[in-house]
Amino acid sequence: MDYARFSYFLRRRFENDHEFNLNTIGGNLSKEISYQTLAKSIRALLGDERDFLANAANVAAVLYQELPEVNWAGFYLLKGQDLVLGPFQGMPACTRIGPGRGVCGAAAQKQETLVVENVKEFPGHIACDSVSKSEIVIPMVRSGRLIGILDLDSPIVARFDDDDRAGLEEVVRLLLETSDDDN
């Protein structure tokens, strides 16, 4: 991303600041609109860049900065059988997750988004940060092939709902559409 594009992103962020903070607006419709605004800004931020790792790094940073009550946001990428730590923001995390392990492995295996209201009640949950209370994991699937997952953790129970699921699935679609899978 060149400097002009970056300053455009920051300007948009400033103009839409009230829309970005999903805490400041009550109600599902507003949250949906906030995710639409977030998706537009991510599209603007990624621009013409096609490098998957660079784009994933910026997506992790945007999600971590903009979504309230999120203490970890990042990617695990499929390498062989394992999910291996990719670009993220938050506390250092476990580097390798075996097939079917934890929330990440389960979502990857099922190839469907998992929303966990209380991680303590999820059998096999991998606690990277004891602060985390709830979690959402969105698989990244390109042409039927799993390439990794997007994972977000929150320090509050039941932080993620269907609006977050829809909004974050759209963010993943956007990342896959705008980036080449060459990692």
Give contact residues for ligand SME (rule: CB under 6 A): 72, 93, 97, 102-104, 125-126, 128, 132, 135, 151, 153
CB of 142 to ligand SME, least distance (A): 21
**Which helix (H) or strand (E) covers residue 168, if one does?**
helix 162-178
- The residue type of 168 is L
CB of 109 to ligand SME, least distance (A): 11
Which is closer to ligand SME, CB of 66 or CB of 135?
Answer: 135
Which is closer to ligand SME, CB of 46 or CB of 114?
Answer: 114
Which is closer to ligand SME, CB of 46 or CB of 136?
Answer: 136
Q: CA–CA separation, 110 vs 98, rounded Å?
A: 14
* Residue carrying the six token digits 């603007």: 44
Q: CA–CA separation, 57 vs 67, rounded Å?
A: 16
Which is closer to ligand SME, CB of 153 or CB of 164?
Answer: 153
CB of 162 to ligand SME, least distance (A): 21
Position closest to ligand SME via CB: 102
Rounded alpha-carbon distances, angstroms, from residue 158 to 26, 133, 151, 176: 16, 8, 15, 27
CB of 94 to ligand SME, least distance (A): 6
User: In which region does residue 117 sit, left (phi positive, over 0), alpha (psi from -120 to 50) or beta (all else)?
Assistant: alpha
